Amino acid sequence: MTNIHCVVFGMGYVGIPIAALLADVNGFRVTGVQRRSKRSGWKITVLNRGESPFKGKEPGLDDLISRVVKKGSFQVTDDPSIAKNADFILIDVQTPTDETHVPQYESLKSVSSQVGAYLKKGVTVIIESTVAPGTTENVVKPILEKKSGLVAGRDFYLAFSYERVMPGKLLDYIVNMPRVVGGITPESTNKAVWLYKHVVSKEISVTSCLSAELAKTIENSYRDINIAFANEMALVCESMHVNIYEIIELINARHDRHMHYPGAGVGGHCLPKDPWLLRYGVQTYGLGAIEPEFITLGRKINNYMPIHLGGLAKAALEKHEIMLKDATITVLGIAYLEDSDDTRNTPALPLIKYLDSYEANVKVHDYFVNSSLFEDWPVINDINLALEGSDCAIIVTKHEKYFNLDFDQLKQLMRTKIIIDGRNVYNREFVEEKGFFYVGIGKPNYL
């Protein structure tokens, strides 16, 4: 087949790379659809110039976007009616949860309604957004059928195929990760598999739509719970004055063990949300009432880690006879992931709010994040300006440049020499030799 038109709704960390990869396939043209909101409408202009909106390190993405835009196979619009000319429609919108952990499907429902209004026979619709198990058939499908007057599985095809992308490896993880595809009918599955075979080099596994939705949410819940265990064991080791990183090294020396690492908290669009989507799906569409206890406990532990980090800073300052309300604290990193500009569900935010509740003067530094993103705490991109006059620097994000801070210069800049390490960036001996007081998550701390 040639002259295939793909329409991708949602130009974010999932939609942009898959759209660009498909647009690079001979015979394919791709149109991205992005709502022209105040927060993200600017992406339309940037992408149509052939530029990536992401400021973190994304190998190959800048060149790919530039190439497909110059080739004329990729463009972005805010007009959803472009879907009437589509052969394949991918939905890549955000699916957050609220404070009570209930999924908020406003964007998913709105886009499904828009797609349904322009749906024609023979089109394949693929949901790539992570959803609660049961959502594709119980939420998306009825909207598409009602708006279009067509029958899913007969007049058009519908499938769920989850993304496994990660900032810093967007293209790599789409191309070189195994793919899971689940259609509501065998033909729906086959249509989606045919599309992905053009960009995915690894195995494409097929299953039911529900099993694919479960695979995504269970996969991320598994990782979140394992991180939570590592975080709890870090707290155990702090209490016992032992280094958790040495313990993990001893455990992982056995070839069939792989204990995760602790840290300042868990961020991103997936891990803080997907366990709740799994729980919601089970409770809403499952046959029996069940409360997945590991999910709830894991989330509680991981959400606590930024607060614990703030508590370590508070104790370190008090050891130096400084109260939080009198301190200037520099938070190093507001992106949730190293060398990325992605701030979704960043653990830095609850840490900052904790410090702010004690009336501390908080300064925020990041190399990649737009300086105007957070109105209450503007991000400073100049490291020297961020640390000048600071009493305490808290490392939240493992940006590569933080591993090479000039401590001699820091001595001149900082008022009080306290380093709180939330990501095991430094060892105590090195920092103390430089004349600083060091506290690290999961390490013996002399507070």
Question: Domains plus CATH for the chain?
Answer: 4-202 (3.40.50.720), 209-447 (3.40.50.720)
- Dist. CA 329–CA 437, nearest whole Å: 14
Task: Specify which residues 159 forms β-bridges with.
Answer: 126, 183
DSSP reduced 3-state for 156? strand
- Asked if 124 contacts 195 with a C-beta cutoff of 8 angstroms, the reply is yes
pLDDT tens digit sequence for 42-101: 899 999 999 999 998 999 999 999 999 999 999 999 999 999 999 999 999 999 999 999
- Asked if 365 contacts 387 with a C-beta cutoff of 8 angstroms, the reply is yes
Count of C-beta atoms within a 10 Å radius of residue 309: 29
Sheet of 361-365: strands edge to edge? 379-380, 361-365, 328-332, 392-395, 418-421, 437-440
Nearest alpha carbon to residue 320 among 239, 408, 419: 419
- Dist. CA 162–CA 210, nearest whole Å: 12
- Dist. CA 149–CA 187, nearest whole Å: 20
Helices (H), 126-265: 135, 141-148, 170-176, 186-196, 209-240, 244-252
pLDDT tens digit sequence for 279-323: 999 999 987 767 889 999 999 999 999 999 999 999 999 999 999
Question: What contacts 239, CB < 8 A, 6 or more positions away?
Answer: none
Q: Is 216 a catalytic residue?
A: yes
pLDDT along the chain (447 residues), means of 10: 90 97 97 84 93 94 98 97 97 95 96 98 98 98 98 98 94 97 98 98 98 98 97 98 97 96 96 96 85 92 98 98 98 96 95 97 95 82 97 98 96 97 97 98 94
Q: Is 270 a catalytic residue?
A: yes
Q: And the tokens for 32?
A: 């991205």
Instruction: Name the catalytic one among 141, 216, 417, 443.
Output: 216
Distances (CA, A) of 353 to 114, 132, 244, 259: 38, 29, 27, 30
Instruction: Name the catalytic one among 6, 209, 237, 270.
Output: 270
Q: And the tokens for 338?
A: 């190293």
- Asked if 348 contacts 364 with a C-beta cutoff of 8 angstroms, the reply is yes
The pLDDT value given to residue 375: 77
Task: Specify which residues 206 forms β-bridges with.
Answer: 181
- Dist. CA 47–CA 73, nearest whole Å: 12
